[in-house]
Amino acid sequence: MKVFGIVGYSGSGKTTLIERLLPWFIARGLKVAVIKQSHHDFELDVAGKDSWRHRQAGAYEVLISSPYRWAVMHELRGAPEPSLAEHIARLSPCDLVLVEGFKRAELPKLEVWRSANAKPWLHPEDGRILAVASDAAPAGNLHHFDLDDMETIGRFILDTLNIEGKPSC
């Protein structure tokens, strides 16, 4: 599996960019997975429902399954957060994994940046950021894409990872 990171500060548009890139990749016959890192506590199941009750009772993992989807919830219960590599190893085989977050991960990345956020650029401190999608051009020779140019951004990611459209798997 090929892995590519989408990084930037909160509110920069990372999720929106991935949401818009997914149909572009899928239209080219690619099977794409997404790993999203959150720095906040989050809930996947509804309070009072069976899976929630099992977690509340102390289950280490809860797998919920239906004819439409399945999910595994794993409680860390004080253990350290798994590494990106450990999360990738849990995924089913696919052509491309887009990683939102994990800013310091050692993988090729695209920085998403908006001037309205008034945050510093990430790329000067991270040589693994190969390009920027933003509403303002960064200083230097870094590849720069308009935030709305899915064709160019998508092609850049595929070219960087040497992925062809319409794979055989």
What's 92's domain CATH number?
Answer: 3.40.50.300
Q: Is residue 169 part of a domain?
A: no
Asked if 59 and 50 touch (Cβ cutoff 8 Å), the reply is no
Residue 57 lies in a domain: no
Residue 63 forms part of a structural domain: no
CA 31 to chain centre: 14
Parent domain of 157: 2-42+81-161
Q: Is residue 61 a part of any domain in this protein? A: no
Task: Give the pTM.
Answer: 0.87
> Domain for residue 121, yes or no?
yes
Quote the CA–CA distance of 63 and 110 in Å, as a whole number.
33
Q: How many domains does the chain have?
A: 1
Q: What is the pLDDT along the chain (169 residues), one digit of tens a residue?
A: 999 999 999 999 999 999 999 999 999 999 999 998 765 455 567 788 877 887 888 778 787 887 888 888 888 888 998 999 999 999 999 999 999 988 999 999 999 999 999 999 999 999 999 999 999 999 888 999 999 999 999 999 999 999 986 644 4
The answer to whether residue 110 sits within a structural domain is yes
Residue 56 lies in a domain: no
Residue 123 lies inside a defined structural domain of this protein = yes
Q: What does 49-93 look like in DSSP terms, one character per residue?
A: SHHHHHHHTT-SEEEEE-SS-EEEEE--TTPPPPPHHHHHHHSPP
Contact between 131 and 122 (Cβ < 8 Å): no
